[in-house]
Homo-oligomer: A and B are copies of this chain.
Amino acid sequence: MKLHETKTTPNSRRVRVFLAEKGIEVETVEVDITSMENRSDGFLAKNPMGKVPVLELDDGTFVSESAAICRYFEELQPSPPLFGTSAQERAEVEMWHRRMELDLAVPIMHVFQNTHPFFAERIEQLGDYAERCRKTAAESMLWLDGVLADRPFIAGDEYTVADIVALIGIDFGRVSGIKIDDPLTHLKRWHDEVSARPSAKA
């Protein structure tokens, strides 16, 4: 197997942190998005959406979408479980996983895409939409602070893929001036703890 990724992108980091938590090593191939390698014919043959990461399986199949890649490794090696251990737990983890993605990580990514010079030549940047996303991210962090007041991790007692998505989303916010406000002490406590895990450096 080979993981085609771009070290600096949050979606690539998701898979690396996930693999580090599992203790799985996979050969990686760096895709240079600054030179638009992800829009080359060679890469589009791997993922027509032009997005990293992409997992190349030994039979030549390409699997893209970080969540799909993480689920694949969860099945190959269930321990430690990062998507829950019973049907009900897996449903709850998936609920939190999606909330962290759709209401936190995606808005933070869209602030970046609609304000950062890197994207200025790549898309038509929409300032009003970026501001709405910034507000959504702030609201989500405020809400998450309350959630984390009485549980160690986002989905409950165990570290899961929901923590990975939230950590990486929030960390990626730095480049857009998004950070955890001082009064959000529970979110800060959680962020310190998940950042101290060895996997956070992956």
Contacts and interface: CB of A to CB of B under 8 A. Distances in A.
Given A71-B90, A76-B87, A90-B72, A65 B126 contact: no
Interface string A136-151: 0000000100000000
Interface SS, A side:
helix
Interface string A45-65: 000110000010100010111
A55, A64, A69 pick with most chain B CB within 10 angstroms: A64
A132 interface: yes
A69 to B, nearest CB: 7
Contacts of A64: 95
A78 B71 CA distance: 17
> Interface residue tally of chain A, by bracket?
20 to 34
A68 interface: yes
Contacts of A124: 132
Given A126-B126, A126-B129, A65 B90 contact: no
A7 to B, nearest CB: 22
Oligomer: number of copies: 2
Contact of A49 (B55, B87, B99): B99
A182 interface: no
A48 B64 CA distance: 31
A10 to B, nearest CB: 14
Given A61-B88, A71-B94, 19 more contacts: A55-B91, A57-B88, A63-B92, A64-B95, A65-B94, A65-B99, A67-B94, A68-B91, A68-B95, A68-B97, A71-B90, A71-B91, A72-B88, A72-B91, A75-B90, A75-B91, A128-B129, A129-B129, A129-B132
